[in-house]
Structure 1
Amino acid sequence: MKSIKIIATLLILFCAVINIGAQNITSNSKVLYKEINGDSLYLHIFKPQLSKKPTAAIVFFFGGGWASGTPEQFYQQSEYFASRGILAISAEYRIKNTHNTSPFDCVEDAKSAIRWIREHAKELNVNPNKIVASGGSAGGHIAITTALIEGLENVSENSSISSVPNAVVAYNPVLDTTEKGYGHKKVVGRETEISPTHQVKKDLPPMLIFHGTKDKTVPFENAERFTSLMKEAGNECELVAVDNVGHGFFNGDFFRKGAGNKYFNLTTYKTDVFLEKLCYLKGKPTLAENIKHISCVGDSNNEAKYPSFLQEKLGNEYQVKNFGKGGATLIDGTNHPYFKKEQYKNSLKFTPDIVLIMFGTNDANVKWCLDENRKTEFIGTPQEEFKSQYVKLIKSYKHKNENAEVYVLTPLPIYEHAKSRDPEIKQRIKHLNEWVIPIIKVISEEENVQLLDVNKLMKKAYNCTVDGVHLNNKGYEILAKKIAQEIK
């Protein structure tokens, strides 16, 4: 029984890691698949667990306008699909900035990659009839063209082996290379030759396309039109429209640091389901489809342990990030005014669905709120400035995501303590109770945001404090448990 519990715990931790996105992802190996004009091109291989039967394979092509990019863009996806039991590959191909090549050369290289994988299926332990071409933006374009463009084959390769994949998954791909889409200046005189919307025909492999409705690089209309043309020709093509996102939304935390995994999870989950329906995968996805981003915003009590405990309490349907800064205040002219810190900028970049704001402990500090020489552009009392800046903070998150749930947290209780570093601790406690907490409660009502009175919830936490201001690990775990109960 004990061993079963240990295995179950490890599986939960594994799924959580997949959901959060490991920050040190590396391929198992790099295999040369093509040499051309002195250039060597490699497949970055992510091996599945040992399987006696050949598995499906998915090969990803990175984006970058056929001019730049790196295979690392799809390392997070590759790691996930290898964990699901298929061979996953992130492919190199020639790009303009490095090789002075054109989009047509990119298409040729993508075809070469598909052909090489099929030709070496036995040694890769791959089913040659279960090869998926995938990619994002320009990489999504060349993945699609391997399925529908005739020609542009490398003449030195074995043409008896098909370069056509058995399925395609594309993330905000280039679909129209005329003036109605993207890239027409890069294919002058040949605008429709590799334009997917102009090359649709019958009997194409099944396709799954993800596209943001606010994509300003590749118009969403292109995706709608391509999908309609595919269906009119009798092909299977599913378009997943992702609301209120722009180009490149599908990248997770590994490649686009700080972006979070909300849309990585969404697209990867649906890709998993698509491949399972094709019998390329077995079982259910091992990551959550819809996760909520939580930004924990505040001072040193936020910067410490409570957000990590909160992640544990909430599970893998949430991604919790810590944007706390020790000594941070909302009033200006202090050592660490929050609006001027990278933590604030990063908390917005994360585009949170839930924001937990906990400020006031340092604003109540005598050395700041009673400092007549404190430099601030605000005209008014420290109390008025605190309220004004707090409201400004709330509005900035609402502006970033109008559907964001904002919680304002009262500061934790402060106690007189033998290890206190504040000689004016009594005065700080007085400020906290006389104006900081009352102002936060007023803000909650006026701004129609939810109040979490953690000062009250943690009023018996004296034994969990290390210096009267900061909690120990046990205290932060208790705090996280109480917050989790409130927001779930």
Structure 2
Amino acid sequence: MAVPGSPGSDRETTSPVSESSTRSPAADGTELPMLVFEPGDGRQPRAGIVLFHGGALRAGSTDGLAPHGRKLASRGILAVSAGYRLLGRGAANIDDCVADVRLAVEQFARLAASRGLETSHLASGGSSAGAHLAMIAAMTPQASATASEPGVAAVVALNPAGTDLRSVEPAARRRLEQQIGVAAGRLIEYSLIEFVRPGNPPTQIHHGTLDEVEPIGSVRQFRDAMVRSGNECALLEYEQAGHGFHYPGSSQHFDDVIDATARFLLDRIATK
């Protein structure tokens, strides 16, 4: 179940927020938007996170997770909402999306360094397809041995997609492969459970028990595989919540999600 806020929790310790925007390079040489949210009272942020929006790789924008970034910044966290090319709008397939996410993480690390944050104090994450992309990038090595990939120290995933694709029926599997632009038989290569290895970053997952896009059973199997491999993986289940439950205005869970995320970042990777 969700962990509600309580008197004296992070929900009550907020500060003014400074908002700005910058650009991140895409793998094809174009530029993508980045929204930056940080403490506005002059204090150095204690941790940082870059978030990637959902939208089935075909829709969505950096504005989608702006409310989350704004709230996290009010808790002393550098929060960035980053874009990536969408299918049919610059990206030919999911690999292009992953490549953009990797570059966005690198750009975020440089931005965080200018605020005094080391890589050990940084996390990545996102919602739905964006969470899936962030987890692929965090759990797999950079394809180019010569590329500089600072990586992240933790991951926060909001109703992630693609946690365990092993049981997808053949017809549905082929439809998904066509949707993400990959050849027949390749869908399993994007199943997050296949990337589980000892040493994966500590991960916090927020998921509704009635999620109609990614069944809670698949997420539980991913969590269990992470734990069996010796990794830290906390699954926060939100009873009777569907996909996209974490947005403000759509349910009562937005503050709970922010509280738990802030505690995870500040307790797990924040500067001391």
**Is 1:190 matched with 2:186?**
yes
Alpha-carbon offset, residue 180 of structure 1: 2.7
- In 2, the alpha carbon distance for the partners of 1:136 and 1:184 equals 20
CA distances 1:274-314 after superposition (whole Å, capped 9, x unpaired): 123215289xxxxxxxxxxxxxxxxxxxxxxxxxxxxxxxx
Aligned 8 A contact 2:164 2:221 in 1: no
SS of structure 2 residue aligned to 1:28: strand
Alpha-carbon offset, residue 36 of structure 1: 4.0
- In 2, the alpha carbon distance for the partners of 1:113 and 1:32 equals 9
Alpha-carbon offset, residue 170 of structure 1: 0.3
**Is 1:67 matched with 2:58?**
yes
- Write the mapping of 1:69-218 to structure 2, written as runs, cut at 5 A: 69-152=60-143, 159-162=147-150, 164-174=151-161, 175-178=163-166, 180=168, 183-185=176-178, 186=180, 187=182, 188-218=184-214
> Which position in structure 2 is the counterpart of 1:30?
21
Alpha-carbon offset, residue 115 of structure 1: 1.5
- In 2, the alpha carbon distance for the partners of 1:244 and 1:206 equals 26
Aligned 8 A contact 1:137 1:171 in 2: yes
- Write the mapping of 1:27-66 to structure 2, written as runs, cut at 5 A: 28-37=19-28, 39-51=30-42, 53=44, 55-66=46-57
| Structure 1 counterpart of 2:235, from 239, 244, 247 | 239
> Which position in structure 2 is the counterpart of 1:220?
216
Residue type at the aligned position of 1:192? I
- In 1, the alpha carbon distance for the partners of 2:152 and 2:112 equals 13
Alpha-carbon offset, residue 55 of structure 1: 3.5
Residue type at the aligned position of 2:199? D
Aligned 8 A contact 1:84 1:281 in 2: no
> Which position in structure 2 is the counterpart of 1:277?
267
Aligned 8 A contact 1:66 1:102 in 2: no
Relative to structure 2, which stretch is displaced further, 198-207 or 172-181? 172-181
Bigger fraction of residues in helix: 1
| Gaps in structure 2 of 5+ consecutive residues | 1-10
Q: CA RMSD in A?
A: 2.6
Alpha carbons of structure 1 residues 271 and 116: separation in structure 2 relative to 1, 3 Å: same
Q: Number of residue pairs matched?
A: 250
Alpha-carbon offset, residue 38 of structure 1: 5.3
Alpha carbons of structure 1 residues 140 and 166: separation in structure 2 relative to 1, 3 Å: same
Q: TM-score, normalized by length of structure 2?
A: 0.82
- In 2, the alpha carbon distance for the partners of 1:118 and 1:190 equals 31
Aligned 8 A contact 1:145 1:196 in 2: yes
Q: TM-score, normalized by length of structure 1?
A: 0.47
Alpha-carbon offset, residue 129 of structure 1: 1.7
CA distances 1:130-161 after superposition (whole Å, capped 9, x unpaired): 111010100110111122122446x8xx7234
- In 1, the alpha carbon distance for the partners of 2:143 and 2:35 equals 23
> Which position in structure 2 is the counterpart of 1:263?
253
Alpha carbons of structure 1 residues 27 and 111: separation in structure 2 relative to 1, 3 Å: farther
Q: Which has the larger radius of gyration?
A: 1
- In 2, the alpha carbon distance for the partners of 1:32 and 1:217 equals 31
> Which position in structure 2 is the counterpart of 1:378?
none
- In 1, the alpha carbon distance for the partners of 2:225 and 2:74 equals 35
Alpha-carbon offset, residue 80 of structure 1: 0.6
- In 2, the alpha carbon distance for the partners of 1:177 and 1:66 equals 17
Residue type at the aligned position of 1:171? L
Alpha carbons of structure 1 residues 194 and 37: separation in structure 2 relative to 1, 3 Å: same
SS of structure 2 residue aligned to 1:218: coil
Residue type at the aligned position of 1:248? G
- In 2, the alpha carbon distance for the partners of 1:36 and 1:224 equals 33
- In 2, the alpha carbon distance for the partners of 1:250 and 1:52 equals 28
- In 1, the alpha carbon distance for the partners of 2:30 and 2:106 equals 18
Alpha carbons of structure 1 residues 80 and 47: separation in structure 2 relative to 1, 3 Å: same
Query: What percentage of aligned pairs have identical amino acids?
Result: 30
SS of structure 2 residue aligned to 1:89: strand
- Write the mapping of 1:285-364 to structure 2, written as runs, cut at 5 A: none
Aligned 8 A contact 1:184 1:191 in 2: yes
4+ aligned runs moved over 4 Å, structure 1: 50-54
- In 2, the alpha carbon distance for the partners of 1:199 and 1:35 equals 24
Alpha-carbon offset, residue 62 of structure 1: 0.3
Aligned 8 A contact 2:165 2:187 in 1: yes
